Amino acid sequence: MDLSFSKEEVAFRDEVREFFKNNVPPETRKKLVEGRHLSKDEMVAWWRILNKKGWGVSHWPKEYGGTGWTSVQHYIFNEELQMHPAPAPLAFGVSMVGPVIYTFGNEKQKQQYLPRIANVDDWWCQGFSEPGSGSDLASLKTKAERKGDKYIINGQKTWTTLAQHADMIFCLCRTDPGAKKQMGISFIVFSMKSKGVTVRPIETIDGGHEVNEVFFDDVEVPVENLIGEENKGWDYAKFLLGNERTGIARVGVSKERLRRIRDLASKVEAGGKPVIEDQKFREKLAEVEIELKALELTQLRVVADENKHGKGKPNPASSVLKIKGSEIQQTTTELLMEVIGPFAAPYDEHGDEGSNESMDWTAQIAPSYFNNRKVSIYGGSNEIQRNIITKAVLGL
């Protein structure tokens, strides 16, 4: 049993840290620290820097541009990325559709899509959730009817994150309406520029525009855009959702936010002294830090297990990561709200485009608090996570 990183791992951490320090555009970093949204160009610019370094799709197999890092190295990379902070690679391409394509796609699809995912030449979005299919995803209704060498797609997707930027979508569609729920679903990819695709923004409670509704009206898609076998899409979806187990805890994000809390709480005064000197506040902060330390260790247990024994059976502890990780992220945004108190109120109606300088330091704190309520809902709500623990771990 050994909790410390090896000499090589420490050297790797320093290398990664140094690279972020020298290569993440300062304005990008600043916006993230302040909880602002980045423009498409800002994100793509950074991802291309990352890809040029060879780290854009680090966890892919080497033959498709991956790094061959160990689980511990991946952990270190993500942790440093989140703490710097810098934008994480676009999950929809890099972590979701990419692995499905190199695992289940044919040779032509691999050549066609993978390099463009790595360099974000295509921005991908995810067509899973529907208005009537949230936690019960397998009840989805979007239809793909085979007509000759084409699928005709009709239906509606929702909560489609950053679809406004997207060039491509990977979509779960029902191809066999007669089959039972999970059967009869196919995994189809197509261009968002196709005729019959309409994107409508959903404004969220923070005033932001991250998610969208996407409508398909007789969209024609070549049959060759089917990934894997027809009616096997549910298997690929499960593979995709099970792929990213440890990143979901977002320990680095919470660490970075705790630093910001300490920083702001040392500047904002209450009763003639900085908020950080208030014992009750300090205890609340310490409580979150302890929860986060426990989560970090839980995550390291999962990572070390993978490192040594491979990614076979998921470690039961991994189901803890989503629940605790999201709760802690939410608590940290709550604490930021508490630090600034009444100054949380002013709303910057120019949003991210042109910010009101006088509100610069507080404007995004309340929106970030509101926005972070999503983290216990998306990616399998925390209640679904408890169902998973109940079945997979406790055997109830």
Q: Which of 264, 323, 365, 375 binds another protein (CB under 8 A)?
A: 323
Instruction: Scan residues 264-303 and list those touching another protein (CB under 8 A).
Output: 279, 282-283, 285-287, 289-298, 300-301, 303
CB 96 within 8 A of CB 243: yes
- Residue 5: DSSP 8-state: P
- Closer CB to another protein, 238 or 259, in the complex: 259
Catalytic residue chosen out of the listed positions 244, 289, 291, 296: 244
Distances (CA, A) of 172 to 137, 138, 183, 193: 10, 9, 12, 18
Q: Which is nearer to another protein, 9 or 352 (CB)?
A: 9
Q: Which is nearer to another protein, 353 or 396 (by Cβ)?
A: 396
Q: Applying CB under 8 A, which part among 43-51, 181-189, 254-262, 358-366 lies near another protein?
A: 254-262
Which of 105, 95, 386, 130 shows the shortest CA–CA distance to 242? Answer: 95
Sign of the C-alpha dihedral, residues 246, 248, 254, 257? positive
Task: Based on the residue annotation, tell me whether 42 is a catalytic residue of this protein.
Answer: no
Does position 394 interact with another protein (CB under 8 A)? The reply is yes
CB of 33 to another protein, least distance (A): 15
CB closer to another protein out of 182 and 387: 387
Please state at what angle helix 279-309 crosses helix 251-267, rounded to 10 degrees.
160
Q: From CA 250, how far away is CA 372, in angstroms rounded?
A: 12
Query: For residue 72, how many other CB atoms are within 10 A of its CB?
Result: 20
262 binds another protein (CB under 8 A): yes
- Give burial (CB, 10 Å; 0-12/13-18/19+) of 84: buried
Supply the minimum distance, in Å, between the C-beta of residue 304 and another protein.
5
Rank residues 79 and 206 by Cβ distance to another protein and give the closer one.
Answer: 79
366 binding another protein? (CB under 8 A): no
Q: What are phi and psi of 216, to 5 degrees?
A: -115, 120
Here the tokens at position 2 are: 């050994």
Q: What residue ranges bind another protein (CB under 8 A)?
A: 1-6, 9, 72, 255, 258-259, 262, 279, 282-283, 285-287, 289-298, 300-301, 303-305, 307-308, 316-317, 320, 323-324, 383, 385-387, 389-390, 393-396
**Which residues are known to be catalytic?**
244
